[in-house]
Amino acid sequence: MIYLAYKICAYKMNSSIKDNPSFQKFGKDLEGLELFHKLYKITSIFGLKSKQMDELFKKLPELRQQYEDIIYTPDKFNKYFLSRGWVAYETMNLETMKTTVRLAEQGKVAEAEELLIEYNAPKCIEGKINMLWGVPAFRSRFELVQKAFEDYKESRYYTCIPIILSVIDVAVNDIEGKGFFADGTNLIAWDSIAAHSSGLSELAKLLGQTRKKTNTDPIDIPYRNGILHGRDLAYDNKIVAAKTWATLFAVRDWAQSVRDGKKVPPVEEIPKSLRQNLREIKQSLEQIAEGKKEQVIINQWKRRIVTIGVDIPRSGNVIDYADKSPEKEICQLIDNWRFKKYHEIARQLLHYNKASFHLKKASGKMRQIFGDSEPEALAFKEIIDEAPAITELVVVIEYSKSFQKFSKEVKFRLVYTDDDYIPVVRGAERGSWKIVENFWFLKDS
Lowest mean pLDDT among 57-66, 263-272, 297-306: 263-272
Q: Look at 86-95, 96-105, 256-265 and tell me which has the smallest mean pLDDT.
A: 256-265
Q: 425 near 298, Cβ under 8 Å?
A: yes
3-state secondary structure of 426: coil
Question: pLDDT of 364-397, one tens digit each?
Answer: 999 999 999 999 999 999 998 887 888 999 999 9
Q: Which residues pair with 378 in a beta bridge?
A: 397
More confident residue, 145 or 16: 145
- The dihedral sign for the CA sequence 179, 185, 188, 189: negative
Percent of the chain with pLDDT over 90: 53
pLDDT tens column, 222-268: 999 999 999 999 999 999 999 999 999 999 999 988 887 777 665 55
DSSP letter at 269 equals: P
Helices (H) and strands (E) in the chain, counts: 18, 4
Of 131, 145, 137, whose CA–CA distance to 389 is shortest? 131
Confidence band for 216, pLDDT divided at 50, 70 and 90: very high
Across the range 92-119, mean pLDDT stands at 96
Calpha distance 1→7 (Å, rounded): 10
Average model confidence (pLDDT) across the chain: 84
Q: How far apart, in whole angstroms, are the C-alpha atoms of residue 213 and residue 231?
A: 6
For the chain, domain boundaries: 2-298, 318-443
Q: 413: closest CA among 323, 316, 333?
A: 333
pLDDT of 1 reads: 35
Query: Is the pLDDT score of 269 beyond 60?
Result: no
| CATH topology assigned to domain 318-443 | Nuclear Transport Factor 2; Chain: A, (3.10.450)
pTM value > 0.85: no
Count of CA atoms in the C-beta half-sphere (13 A) of 208: 16
Cα–Cα dist 329/186, whole Å: 41
pLDDT for res 27? 62
The pLDDT assigned to 330 comes to: 97
Kindly report, residue by residue over 64-89, the tens digit of the pLDDT: 677 677 778 999 999 999 999 999 99
Which helix or strand (DSSP H or E) is residue 385 part of? strand 373-387
Pairing mode of beta strands 404-417, 373-387: unpaired
